[in-house]
Amino acid sequence: MAEASAPGKAILLGEHAVVYGEPAIAVALDLRTYVTTVPRPGGITVHGEPLQDKLFPHLRKAVEMTGARDVELRIESELPSSAGLGSSAALSCAALGALLRSRGHDVRASEVARLAFDIELATQEGRASPTDTTTSAAGGGVLVDSAPGPGLLWSFERNGKRWHLHRVPVPELTLVVGMSGQRGRTSEQVARVAQVVQRDGLGTVRELGDIARAGAKALAAKDQEELGRLMDRAHAGLRTLGVSTPRLDELVQAARAHSYGAKLTGAGGGGSIIALTREPERVVHVLESKQCPALVAKLTPRGVEAAP
Q: Residue 296 has what pLDDT?
A: 93
Topology (CATH) of 2-170? Ribosomal Protein S5; domain 2 (3.30.230)
Taking the C-alpha atoms of 234, 240, 245 and 246 in order, what is their torsion angle to the nearest 10 degrees? 100
Whether the per-residue pLDDT at 257 is higher than 90: the answer is yes
Whether the per-residue pLDDT at 290 is higher than 80: the answer is yes
Domain with CATH 3.30.230.10 in the chain: 2-170
Using an 8 Å Cβ cutoff, are 57 and 123 in contact?
yes
Cα(191)–Cα(206) distance, integer angstroms: 18
Class of domain 175-297: alpha beta
Q: Residue 283 has what pLDDT?
A: 98
Residue of 30, 70, 118, 132 marked catalytic = 132
Domain with CATH 3.30.70.890 in the chain: 175-297
Cα(73)–Cα(252) distance, integer angstroms: 37
**106 tagged catalytic:** no
Cα(290)–Cα(17) distance, integer angstroms: 30
24-57 tens-digit pLDDT: 999 999 999 999 999 999 889 999 899 888 888 8
Q: Is 211 left (phi over 0), alpha (psi -120 to 50) or beta?
A: alpha
Whether the per-residue pLDDT at 96 is higher than 80: the answer is yes
Higher pLDDT, 113 or 84: 113
Query: pTM of the full predicted structure?
Result: 0.89
Angle at 123 between CA 68 and CA 69, to 5 degrees: 10
